[in-house]
Amino acid sequence: MKKSFIIIYLFVFALISCNKQREDSIELRINKLIKQMTLDEKVGQMNQLSGVGLSEDMIEMIKSGQVGTLLNEVDIETVNELQRIAVEESRLGIPLIIARDVIHGFKTIFPIPLGQASSWNPEIVKSAARVSAQEASSVGIRWTFAPMIDVTRDPRWGRIAESFGEDSHLTSVMGVAMIEGLQGDTLSHPSSVASCAKHFAAYGATESGKDYNTTWVPEIQLRELYLPPFKAAVDAKAATFMCSFNDINGVPSSGNTFLNRMILRNEWGYNGLVVSDWGSIEQMIPHGFCKDINDAAKKSIFAGIDIDMMSNAYSLNLSELVQSGAVSISMIDEAVANILRLKFKLGLFDNPYTPKPDNNPFYKPRSLELAKQTAIESTILLKNKNNLLPLSENIKKIAVIGSLADSKIDQLGTWCFDAEPENSITPLQALKEQYGSKIDIVYEPTLLYSRDKSDLNFKKAVKAAKESDAVILFVGEEAVLSGEARCRADINLPGAQSELVNEIKKSGKPFTMVVMTGRPLTLEKEVDMADAVLFQFHAGTMTGPAIVDLLFGKAIPSGKLPITLPRMVGQIPIYYSHKKTGRPASNITFIDEIEVGAPQTSLGFTSYFLDAGDTPLFPFGYGLSYTTFNYSIPQLSSTSINKTDTLTVFCRVRNIGEFDASEVVQLYVRDDVGSLVRPVKELKQFKKIFLKKGQTEIVDFQITAEDLSFWNSDMVKRAEPGSFTVWIASDSRSGSDVNFILE
């Protein structure tokens, strides 16, 4: 045993020494290269442009060292030729990095990030990112602008689709999983793609849910809610960071020294690369923060932004700013070192070219199977009245209603530029392939698209419903209605879809409503009308097979909401970890219950809406199954701990239903009394477990003082002695609680 330990120790020591030597070698090569570079060549490395193929202007810029990274080149022959020009025809032979938005898949498209978060399975998120990296790198892409780890509580914001939801902990876990999947075991491997943690920071707090809008975030909230996923990204060695479009407390991120230098560089010790968002340096002028492009370039370099994406602010102004003494050459050298370091780590100096694959790297069977499984685990069962689902395979006729049942492009979701919709398998297509020979499938699209307001085909849909043994109604949003600059003030079902739901309800037939969307929608009346509800954030290439397996019980729903579903838009922001109030909701009187002419009084008033009460439609962490899980009351290893102890919390989870299935077991904690008002509860950990019917598992979690700490008014993060409440539950509003003391 002792001998084995020594061998392992020597191996680990040798590995650490080897990595240290490699890092030292890279730094020596960086310093040597920087000494050889002219000022204009240094500034060229800091200039990022969108590719335009093999144009004469681009070729000349690369030859003369005026561009360091390129966006949006996806043709392997073009990429290799541009790389050849950079390596063989420029003075110093510095390779390019080719970048592209690969947000939730390259060719094989996985659920949008909000959907992936619904799986509560970091391993499947990591695996999906690995496939995305393998496909993208096969055409020369070595840098992508993902994950987006902006925490948001506003479903009106279009970019919520790219987020992992409302919770800082869940976002951190999923963000790290995506980073690890994209970057692989080592960045130098040809199939690894540099990740980019974005948008730094608080972009998800954009006022009124309107994209690019202002944010006002107290530093305590910034550190408690919005920054933890980015700190987790630093710890996970995310290769790059991207600043955000918005201003934070009056200072745009692209010129924000507090964020990019004081916190990211100095406090967290990050030595990776920081890139602006598209044109965001120049956009500090319309912000009113910079008087002109020269001023914008100066403020961005002072803030520590290494690469200017598509503003031309650096390329047109930095050399002059250095020569005038307004910007020190050391700032330029620091930025260039960060850029070169990534190029060395990616192995581009040694292997700049991308070999043409022998076989088609896209849509491999294992990739499609993973995409299907991710779609399955991302789907949330919100309602299942009288156990309508799963459907029996013995039914004779099924009515499929709604255009989204057969829209190859819309199921892919937002921001997947390289997707090929023709390779999507829709629910209707999958139904016909699997059951067309056994079940009569009647399809009525009824509406041409989700925004269609015509009721001309409603009668045909109702007739199909009445004549069928099962009815599946597909509703939701087209892909184009969510994503960047796709914000909605009204998040009801668009078009005449709600009216269609009402007509199907009138048919008298029980029906399943499948929601396919890029954001949370306000669906209270539609959910009330439906007998069963499957909810999907746009689930990608394999949406169809996933939905069909769920409908017929070949797969069991296990998704959980990563964000609260409001009853109506006026409740926003509504989120589970809200602060306590001196008048918590109780004795709720709804608007129609108030007597006409009732006198005004302040007695008994509490915090709620007259027309919506105090609860969401569905809470964070919610999701049903075809089986039932029973949770015992949590048990503690001790009723008190000190700041160096570890507390174990556990409970028994038993599958008492009729199906083998997975369950997401969630741990929530509340600090009962603090020097600052604390949230009613906070997610601290979770585990996804699989239980066969009748099986019981003891699920345990470990809690330390670090888990109980928070940012105090003196801007120090620490745990305070006192009473804490803990839950182990299936969602944020359920479960029994127990208490313990931190001494």
Are 309 and 278 within 8 A, CB to CB? yes
Say what angle helices 313-323 and 329-345 make with each other, to 10 degrees: 140
Residues contacting 300, CB < 8 A, separation 6+:
254, 255, 276, 281, 284, 308, 313, 314
Strand partners, 273: 240
Q: What is the dihedral of CA 537, 538, 544, 547, to 10 degrees?
A: 0
Are 184 and 541 within 8 A, CB to CB? no
277 counts as catalytic = yes
Are 658 and 692 within 8 A, CB to CB? no
Structure tokens, 219: 């530093």
User: At which residue do the structure tokens 């080149």 appear?
Assistant: 73
Distance CA 279, CA 538 (A): 28
DSSP state of 552: T
Are 202 and 144 within 8 A, CB to CB? no
Quick one: 624 exposed, middle or buried, by C-beta within 10 A (0-12, 13-18, 19+)?
buried
Distance CA 376, CA 558 (A): 8
Residues contacting 439, CB < 8 A, separation 6+:
393, 395, 396, 397, 398, 431
Distance CA 722, CA 553 (A): 47
Structure tokens, 30: 């960086």
Quick one: 673 exposed, middle or buried, by C-beta within 10 A (0-12, 13-18, 19+)?
exposed
Residues contacting 537, CB < 8 A, separation 6+:
111, 112, 114, 115, 118, 161, 378, 413, 517, 518, 519
Which one of the listed residues 277, 406, 418, 707 is annotated catalytic?
A: 277
Residues contacting 184, CB < 8 A, separation 6+:
130, 133, 191, 192
The residue among 433, 408, 272 whose CA lies nearest residue 340 is: 272
Distances (CA, A) of 8 to 2, 319, 548, 655: 10, 52, 49, 41
State the CB neighbour count (10 A cutoff) for residue 364: 16
Distance CA 350, CA 454 (A): 60
Which helix (H) or strand (E) segment holds residue 665: the answer is strand 661-671
User: At which residue do the structure tokens 């039932």 appear?
Assistant: 628
Distance CA 180, CA 175 (A): 9
Phi, psi (5° rounding) for residue 27?
Answer: -65, -40
Distance CA 204, CA 165 (A): 9
DSSP state of 617: S
Phi, psi (5° rounding) for residue 200?
Answer: -90, 100
Distance CA 161, CA 538 (A): 9
Tell me the catalytic residues.
Answer: 277
